[in-house]
Amino acid sequence: MDMVHILEAQLDFVERTNPSGKPTVQGYNIINGQLTSASDGSTFESRNPGWLDDVVGVFPQSTRSDVSDALAAARQAFAAWAATPAPTRGQIIGNMGRLLIEHKDAIVALETREIGKTLKESAGSVQEAIDTCLFFQSEGRRLYGQTVNSELPNKELFTYRRPLGVCGIINACNFPAAVPFWKMIPAIMCGNTCVWKSPQDAPMLSFALARIMHQAGLPDGVINLVHGKGSGAGQYLIDAVDEGKVNKISFTGSTEVGKMIGEVCGRNLVSCSLELGGKNPLVVMPSADLDNAVEGAYWAGFGTAGQRCTSLGNLIVHESIYDEFLERFMAKVKSTRIGDSLRHDNVLYGPMLSEKYANDFLKGVEMCKEDGATHLFGKGRIQSDNAPENFLGVAEEGVYMWPHVFVDVDESMRCFHEEIFGPAVTIVKATSFEHALHLANASPYGLSSSIYTNDRMEAYQYKIGIKAGMTSINNSTTGAEAHLPFGGVKGSGNGTRESGIWVIEAYSYWHAVNDELSGKLQLAQMDVDEIEMVEAQIDWTQLA
């Protein structure tokens, strides 16, 4: 295909018959506003994990040359975009939010088709992208610096926020609308340009969102989209840090890959934002409303089939209520409705995000068994001959998993410490509040956390004692809002944050300016008049 500008191109379709009756889209990279194929012509397919024979789209397997072209386009666009008034940049971002509102239903259905999330959850992901746009459209009018008083006469001091340059954006596929907007919207609001490597399992949604961004008035080259594997296009983008072509990397994914990216950025003194894994603890204390705690733990563990970085990891229950809580919790687990929400109503979760995520999850289940944890519930991958009572549909059509529960878990086990990305909860018994807090802090992660208690002192001690980036009191471990900082500590990240005004720090640097008006050289610290103290003959002890 000859290069066509994104605003002039209609959707292209691949001739094939899908069992869903829906079309297969021919996807492209978007480089400098042009639709392009891979330089070597290679492609890959995006398949619906709830109906594997349904091919959503065919996309370029980007080469190193393609990524280099995208970086060059971003570099070329940077000067003009950085010089664009921040309120104007905000207006374009606002347009993006309004277009997402206009096309929300279609985008939600596409997200569900491509990654298998329920329609309700996909709607939440898209709404988060909308909220991010509507929040940051006005931040363009609040990209404040300061005026600072000088210690010298006839001099003015100022601070300004400046953009970093070209940002490499890499996000996971579980929140393919919300997370890239968390990253790119503040990035471009600050005046940066971006090269976005789409998730391999969500290229179609990324392609649609990038087209909406350009429809909103985004100039060519400000956001460039490339598709491909993490080991391909993603690695090429990281390699470009060593080549001096990237000024910022923002990555959401595994801790292992995040550490590698941090090393590359560190040796080049390049800023990176790393939002990584979690083994998120949820504590239930005797004073808690047990029904509320069960609902929160159930959702945190099995919503999105447990495929959130904030999903429940270790469920820590006080021994005095352990049996009663477990009975209620297991009743909820056994009632779980699972299926494709495009075809069935009121399902809690759908398929795994892809075959790869399914295989990795099953390895995590085997780890729990090898550790000696008691396997209370769950039978691995759902098949027609072993389906749970409330599974809807034909199991072999997609990648569906049972909900899994393991009990008798303790600190000596790998499954206590390692993230299991999928519908599995490990349950730990605590003997006291102090023990529960210790257990909550004992994993190498520190992303999200939660406690259910109606004892205000316990709630206070938990929120000041927990080592986590986020804590909920009487709510689940999941959930984020566009105006609240999102991120973790320890193995969950490098301290940077997504969302809210705090994320601006990640995509700008402070520029200090001193404006000398005196017409002569004045030296700070050296030319400052020294003020001598005056002796006073007063005995202050007379007043004591």
- Asked whether 187 and 167 are in contact (CB, 8 A), the reply is yes
Q: Report whether 441 contacts 466 (CB < 8 A).
A: yes
H-helix or E-strand containing 12? strand 12-14
| CA–CA gap between residue 336 and residue 391 (Å, rounded) | 8
Question: Can you tell me the distance from the alpha carbon of 461 to that of 442, in angstroms, rounded to the nearest whole number?
Answer: 16
For residues 395 and 381, give the distance between their C-alpha atoms in angstroms, rounded to a whole number. Answer: 9
- Contact criterion met (CB below 8 Å) for 192 and 507: yes
Is 395 in a helix, a strand, or coil?
helix
DSSP H/E element including 440: helix 433-441
Is 434 exposed, middle or buried, given 0-12, 13-18 or 19+ CB atoms closer than 10 A? exposed
Dihedrals phi, psi of 65, to nearest 5 degrees: -65, -40
Rounded CA gap, 123 and 133, in Å?
15
User: What span, in angstroms and rounded, lies between the C-alpha atoms of 128 and 148?
Assistant: 37
Which residues of 334-453 form beta strands (DSSP E)? 374-377, 404-407, 424-430, 445-446, 448-452
DSSP E strands in 294-382: the ranges are: 312-318, 374-377
Q: Tokens 């009975």 sit at which residue?
A: 327
Q: Which residue has the tokens 């400046």?
A: 162
Three-state SS across 144-159?
CCEEEECCCCCEEEEE
| Distance separating alpha carbons of residues 248 and 229, to the nearest angstrom | 20
Taking the CA atoms of the chain, what radius of gyration do you get in angstroms? Answer: 26
Residue (of 102, 439, 65, 495) closest to 285 by Cα position:
439
Q: Which long-range contacts (CB under 8 A, 24 or more apart) does 104-108 make?
A: 104/130, 107/177, 107/205, 107/208, 107/209
d(CA 95, CA 319): 53
Backbone angles phi, psi at 15, to 5 degrees: -75, 105
Residue among 69, 49, 37 at smallest CA distance from 111: 49
> Distance between CA 59 and CA 233 in Å, rounded?
13
Indicate the residue type of 277: G
**How far is Cα 284 from Cα 281, in angstroms, rounded to an integer?**
10
Q: Following CA atoms 65, 71, 77, 83 in sequence, which dihedral angle do they give, to the nearest 10 degrees?
A: -170
Residues tagged active-site: 309
